[in-house]
Structures are given as C-alpha cells and as structure tokens.
Amino acid sequence: MIKLKNILLEANKIANGTAFTLSSTDPYEYKNLDGTWYTKLKSKDSWLNMKSSLSTANYNDAIKLLINKSNGITIDKPIEKKKDDQKDNQKPTTKSDKSSASINIIIGDSQAPWVFKNLNPKTVQLIDELQEGGKGVGWLRDQVAAYPVSPKVKNVVLCIGTNGGYSSKGSAEAGLFTALRKTFPNAKIYAVQGSWGWGGVSKYTEKQVRSYYINQYQNRGAILIEPPIGDGKKNGQRSDPHGPRIAYEQIGAAIDAKLKA
C-alpha cells in the first residue's frame, strides 16, 4: 500500500500510463498518460479524458476534490497489465455476481458508483449487470426483470431517472417496480434523487426533480434518500455529477444509517 497525501504527486511516481485505483472499494481507475488525466469504471473498457470533457475550472476543481478526498488514506498499488494483454473478464471485488449478491445492493446509472464510493463496502454491493452509465429507467426495468430472483436481498438502492430527463409519464417506472418486487421479493426499495443543472437536465429545477421522485418512486413504495445529488453548478461544484461531491458523502451517510436501523 502507498501512503497518499497528494494524488498528483504520488501519481507522478507511477509509470506513465499505468492504471491505479484509490482503494480496493473505489469503482474507478485513473491514469496519467503524458500529462493527461483519464478515468473509467473498472468494469468498462473506455477511458474518459477528464481535461477535454470538462472546463478548465471544473477540471481543476475535480482534481482538488480528489486530493482532498484522498488525503491521509492509502491507495492500492498500480494495476499491473496482463502479459497476454487480454481483457480481464473477472468482475471487480466491489461488485457481486449472480450467486453471491449482498443483502444490500445499489443499482442504476453512472451516478450509482459515486454513491457507492461513499457507502460501507462491507455491507453494500454495486451489481455490475444492473448498473451502466447513460441508461434510463426502461433499461434498468429490463435488466432487473432478467436478473435471477434473489429473495435474500433485503435492501435495494436505486440511482436512476436522470437520463430520462424527468419527463416520463410513469410506464417505465411502473414496470421497474413490478420487476423489482418479482426479482427482490423481500427487499425494501430506496431511491437516490438525481441531479439537475447540466447536460440534458440543464433546464430542470430542484422542485421538478423532487416532484418526479415523489410521484414515480415514493408513491410506488420507495423511501427517498436526502439530499438529492443536486445542482451541478451550485456553490462552485462541478457542472456535472460525475466526480466527488459533498452530496455523495451526505447520501452515503444517510443510506448507511438507514441500513443499520
């Protein structure tokens, strides 16, 4: 393990282009290739150029937040590339397979890993088959319906809805809850309220987003988590939700507290 006080300085000691992760529970990998920073989910193949995808100010804020988040903790050693350069088909240790799902799981879109990062990894698992960036409620409905019935699962945390632009009339959400109750018949359902003020949801307000989750999730039996992921442009935070945020820490703490109750 490498003691970390400054992720940028520490990363400079890692071979150029070598992937590394902040911890064994971090769903993301990072690398610095010729001075350019990239990140990706461990379970995915595509690397995201952090600098080209963000404004200079937001990029700098994201790096500062990573530094602040990682001060004084330990990170895993750099991930060694396989000699045969073949794709690693094994799931990360932070995710479960169909036969050993945790009794507490989190599923959904690209914001789900950032929520998961702030949960207790010993009691909650992010399910690979039920999480993918850029997906909406209809996709999750179909994935849950195809997933093996799991009566041992006691709590399901949803992080979904943002990619639909909050414009749904309810059919996809109704189908999702039908699938959830069939696949996880003994589970309580929790819903993380999404983000607004960026990309395809730039015109939505907090009131509209809260109303969506009340009508489509709470009214169907889900317990809403406070606070929402929130306004990406509020208080100088990133202009999109894919990065460390105080809200994720608050959401994580709220979920952990409910699961302990």
Give the model's confidence band at 58: pLDDT under 50 very low, under 70 low, under 90 confident, else very high.
low
Instruction: Show the beta-strand stretches assigned E in 76-227.
Output: 95-96, 104-108, 125-131, 155-159, 188-192, 195-196, 223-225
- Average pLDDT for 131-158: 96
Question: Which stretch of 42-51, 63-72, 207-216 has the lowest confidence by average pLDDT?
Answer: 63-72
pLDDT for res 71: 46
- What's the pLDDT at 238? 56
Mean pLDDT of the chain: 78
Among 35-39, 64-68, 142-146, 231-235, the minimum mean pLDDT is found in 64-68
DSSP 148: P
Q: What are phi and psi of 258, to 5 degrees?
A: -70, -35
Neighbours of 131 (CB within 10 A): 26
| Domains recognised in the chain with CATH numbers | 2-75 (no CATH), 95-260 (3.40.50.1110)
pTM of the model: 0.63
Quote the pLDDT of residue 11.
47
User: DSSP assignment of 203-229, as one string?
Assistant: T--HHHHHHHHHHHTGGGTPEEESS-S
Mean pLDDT of 96-122: 81
pLDDT tens profile 146-163: 999 999 999 999 999 999
The CA distance from 146 to 144, in Å, is 5
Of 234 and 202, more confident: 202
- Confidence class for position 252, pLDDT limits 50, 70, 90: very high
Angle at 209 between CA 204 and CA 211, to 5 degrees: 130
Banded pLDDT at 35 (limits 50, 70, 90): low
Band the pLDDT of 244: cuts 50, 70, 90. confident
How confident is the model over 99-119, as a mean pLDDT? 86
pLDDT digits (tens, 9 = 90+) for 68-87: 544 443 333 343 434 333 33
**What does the pLDDT read at residue 37?**
73
Overall average pLDDT of the 181-200 stretch: 95
